[in-house]
Structure 1
């Protein structure tokens, strides 16, 4: 990939600056492809050299760039050196560019962009990613879509980079709401309806019992009694709760399968109701548990110790809270897994919760708290189906599949498909994921079906369409496995632009690995698709000389490989026909 080129530039800089080549490699960056004009390939910013202490602050930045460039020389790899605005730009040997980039794409396969000198010092270890986390006995709410696909992306990325990843679903399966549900089911639940449509029936029971509870003290008392029995391990109550939990997971897994998501472990708050009591005893023994005037147990987080800022740890009736159980879960996971990183993926409304959780862990003396990270995200607004406002994720997935089927049926370019529904589902999911990942995760966004499912523009449909078209090209033209090609036949501006873009793939992945924002990868893949579409129109394979056709076919094959790899990291299953 870019390794040979970066190293060649870094070696020359090393000789002049007296800094090791390895330290200089990261400051050599590939230049983004410009639609307006053909760019040079690599850039070294004088400011980045100064920031890293590799260059002493002397004359003005432009002068330093000029002075440094005059000490560099062209060779077999570097064919042009030019001074830019505060930077030195490099053009590399065009034949080598085509030869090395495509060799690397095919040699490294799914590891292209990851096996790179940029990741040489990347720390691998055991990473827990906690995501999705719906509440059992409720249908999968659309609000959990973002947590599910963002968490899946982070887990995919961490795994691709060589980490031992544990994908954890921490179910909301404890608390007073299960007292309400249990009491409600005992009053008007039906085993027959539960078998026919489990989550729908439990949802109906929960809605009904919530409607009645405000006006009926007997239901409130029954709910409290049910949960009290549950906390004390009553066999009959626990069996009903376990039944709800099991059927909920079975139903959720159907939705996860449609999204291409899997989990290594289903955890839950219920596992920690005993350990949370042990945690409370520990906090109390250390003299950290204070009481408010209402009898609520808290840990003081204020700098002056005046309870101006505190974390609620226990209700005045002695029952644990969500925060208590989360802290107990974190401590238990460290003991069980000895993780190097634990990432929580939830909406931004829970930022205060995690701030309090991490601060409490620090006060308790857990020196691994810095390994915990909260990745917050914004809300999706305006998500509706043709039936109206949408609540359940299942409805969104069905709507995406239905609309995609209609769009495919109306398109003149749609191919004959063995299973159009499965293809429509994969393309629909790609559309949802790309729409979600286009901006900063923390941002809210307005959802628009027509925009999301467009076949042109920055959409998941466009990525799938481009990949399918490149696969179709290979089916039409490929004759056996061809690996030998003449790179001098890939010197057209459109081919060079694609090769230059491929040079940046490892930098994009590195940037994503630093801050876990998928938008950089989404933007990269959309640009790759645009460049591929332009090249597809101009770099013809049929009717070209055999050597030219072979080189171009390999270029398109390499593009489809990188496009597929990037889509898989995002959680998209690439389609080969549509």
Structure 2
């Protein structure tokens, strides 16, 4: 994952600065390279931005991440970074001077007038047989590409001139140039349609008030009352000088309506807008059908790398319901970051070291069975762990035996490490089976054992050199009282290390290796204090990246009679939960014999529906809330639930199967005039907003709420907008609407880690 990220160039742009020249230069400059970086294209949120941006991650091309802004800078970078023997950018002083004049002319271009000057120069050059620069000997140069870009995008009239037209044709005949146009146009077609309307508003409001687009955009919201329009701007939050009520009236009077924005009206301090819903419908639906699984994705995280650490069970302990939240929330965070263009590295940081493994080894000698270990390692080791802890309560000397055994592990004794490695390997195999059921995978299985005593002693030395480490009653501490974080115990004076020292070593190691932009630890809220101490210590150690480390906390999972405990054996195994819910769902499915007979793999479907019930129930509320493991609630499939969402998706799939025809490219969307159709279009159009918002909030409940709202709208539409029995044009239009809804709902379900079902 990191290698792919380091070998990727991230180019983002707006519809007003289409990067034809940049992509064409990249294509030409890398045309002879056997191994070249990948170029990713994405639209910037600011649809009015005049400048494209290129992010070059730390890797083969640069030691540290570099951001280049501007068409000329990016084009020049490509031409110089990937020399292929051509004259794309000639280093000879005279030709370089001529090229730089072209760069400066294009960089300064501000519309039709400036672009026309470039076109005039091209026309003159095209008529000069002795010209030494433009298309010299049939070889295109960077100056050609920049000028061609300017004329193509800003000076449509000049293309009617025969000389200019022939020159454009000559440029576009060069292999790689035409391909650049196709790539850029395809990326541009993925524009967020609601943003087209928002930026039409921003353009005028910014011109009338002087407020920046960045300030206006996040304030545009849905009015509380739909009768007030489609978008609303609360003027007090814009903090303009004057009376917000009067400002709203003045703006409503001076705002010029057009084909996109059909009405502007004030309501107290609010400026409300109505958009052209027909244009939204006609642009949105074909866009969703073309994008399919990419619908809703954006480029806001282009060029950034995030580490997401989640799940992190303890080896030889059960993967219980308490790990469920970390697993599914962490997977969700990884998914939504990738939807926003981030590169991610998912890490399962296993609890695979410490005295408890000495205790487990002592217990295995008495209670262990190799056969049971092979058959079900996690459950058997759990039983051993519970039994030896019970014995240790009556015989404290067992803890001394455990410490001695763990000391043998730390000293690298082969027999001791061999048994530990066997426990670890067999447990990971079992964990992977459960993760596969949950549709979760990891890039890396790491663990506490990865960080040696030497690495942690290096941490101690660094803390000591910074005068942060102090001995205190047999412990080595960092005093954080002045930061209201108490005392952080790093290790002991006898040389043993605690979790905090390993976490410090792991964070430093990850930054050195991955050079991450953000790191997320998805761990329960009971560890809040631990992570505050960790991040503060990293800050005091002078690690500037410490502010980019985040603890994503969540509430505890409780049983009906209190918190669950591994040591006391009161844990409910997640595998048992999954199996029981699967069995319950299977029985429900059998009650409908006709539908059951149509399902190819009922076992698989019942498992996925059961997992959907668990995941949606868990994610229905904000993640900081505690979660009560209530079997009655878990096994209920009524109301707003995971099975309901899966049923909505499978119902939409069924409509497509039974329709018996495909939607033609020339579908007449104007036939979708009913209120239910407009409501469904409106909800579908807001999925990119949800993706963008949850990238910041990291709250899966927002996706669950959206999915339920979309499913309710689908149900309302299906009651009145039939496909079967309708004339073909109307049937096609409605089928296209339902396909767009199915694509959107499927993308939402996948973002929370579920596999959308086509039959159930």
TM-score higher than 0.5: yes
Are the counterparts in 2 of residues 41 and 500 from structure 1 also a CA contact under 8 Å? no
How far did residue 20 of structure 1 move? Answer: 5.2
2:275 is the counterpart of 1:98: no
Name the structure 2 match of 1:544. 726
Distance 1:389 1:246 in 2: 25
* Structure with the greater alpha carbon radius of gyration: 2
Match of 2:443 among 252, 261, 264: 264
The 1:383–1:489 alpha-carbon spacing in structure 2 relative to 1, beyond 3 Å, is farther
Q: Over residues 378-407 of structure 1, what are the superposed CA-to-partner deviations in whole Å (9 max), with x where a residue is unaligned?
A: 0233469xxx97611101111111111122
2:579 is the counterpart of 1:398: yes
Give RMSD over aligned pairs: 2.3
Worse overlay, 260-269 or 103-112: 103-112
SS in 2 for 1:143: helix
Are the counterparts in 2 of residues 132 and 345 from structure 1 also a CA contact under 8 Å? yes
Match of 1:130 among 273, 289, 309: 309
Name the structure 1 match of 2:403. 224
Are the counterparts in 2 of residues 455 and 465 from structure 1 also a CA contact under 8 Å? no
How far did residue 225 of structure 1 move? Answer: 1.0
Name the structure 2 match of 1:207. 386
Q: Per chain length, whose mean CA-contact separation is higher, i.e. which structure has more relative contact order (CA < 8 Å, sep 6+)?
A: 1
Q: Over residues 492-528 of structure 1, what are the superposed CA-to-partner deviations in whole Å (9 max), with x where a residue is unaligned?
A: 0001111111222222222211121111111111100
2:527 is the counterpart of 1:344: no
2:330 is the counterpart of 1:147: no
The 1:40–1:502 alpha-carbon spacing in structure 2 relative to 1, beyond 3 Å, is farther
Structure 1 unmatched ranges of 5 or more: 51-55
How far did residue 67 of structure 1 move? Answer: 1.9
Distance 1:184 1:557 in 2: 58
Name the structure 2 match of 1:53. none
Q: Over residues 514-570 of structure 1, what are the superposed CA-to-partner deviations in whole Å (9 max), with x where a residue is unaligned?
A: 121111111111100001100000111122222111111100000000000011011
How far did residue 316 of structure 1 move? Answer: 4.4
Distance 1:566 1:369 in 2: 32
Name the structure 2 match of 1:75. 258
What TM-score do the two structures reach when normalised by structure 2? 0.70
The 1:217–1:513 alpha-carbon spacing in structure 2 relative to 1, beyond 3 Å, is closer
Are the counterparts in 1 of residues 249 and 266 from structure 2 also a CA contact under 8 Å? yes
Match of 1:284 among 446, 464, 476: 464
SS in 1 for 2:654: helix
Structure 2 unmatched ranges of 5 or more: 1-192, 562-568
2:237 is the counterpart of 1:48: yes
Are the counterparts in 2 of residues 272 and 329 from structure 1 also a CA contact under 8 Å? yes
Distance 1:254 1:390 in 2: 19
Distance 2:404 2:633 in 1: 50
Are the counterparts in 1 of residues 485 and 529 from structure 2 also a CA contact under 8 Å? no
Are the counterparts in 2 of residues 379 and 443 from structure 1 also a CA contact under 8 Å? yes
The 1:412–1:82 alpha-carbon spacing in structure 2 relative to 1, beyond 3 Å, is farther
Are the counterparts in 2 of residues 273 and 320 from structure 1 also a CA contact under 8 Å? no
Are the counterparts in 2 of residues 29 and 507 from structure 1 also a CA contact under 8 Å? no
2:530 is the counterpart of 1:353: yes
Name the structure 1 match of 2:297. 114
Q: Over residues 420-475 of structure 1, what are the superposed CA-to-partner deviations in whole Å (9 max), with x where a residue is unaligned?
A: 11111111111111111111111113344454555553211111010000000111
Are the counterparts in 2 of residues 10 and 28 from structure 1 also a CA contact under 8 Å? no
Residues paired across the two proteins, number = 559
What TM-score do the two structures reach when normalised by structure 1? 0.92
Distance 1:464 1:454 in 2: 15
The 1:84–1:563 alpha-carbon spacing in structure 2 relative to 1, beyond 3 Å, is farther
2:661 is the counterpart of 1:509: no
Match of 1:171 among 350, 368, 391: 350
Are the counterparts in 2 of residues 30 and 503 from structure 1 also a CA contact under 8 Å? no
Name the structure 1 match of 2:205. 13
Name the structure 2 match of 1:421. 603
Match of 1:239 among 375, 393, 418: 418
Distance 1:81 1:572 in 2: 41
Worse overlay, 251-260 or 18-27: 18-27
Distance 1:179 1:18 in 2: 68
SS in 1 for 2:262: strand
Distance 2:594 2:232 in 1: 41
Name the structure 2 match of 1:315. 492
Match of 1:479 among 661, 664, 670: 661
How far did residue 339 of structure 1 move? Answer: 0.8
Are the counterparts in 1 of residues 663 and 732 from structure 2 also a CA contact under 8 Å? no
Distance 2:611 2:702 in 1: 19
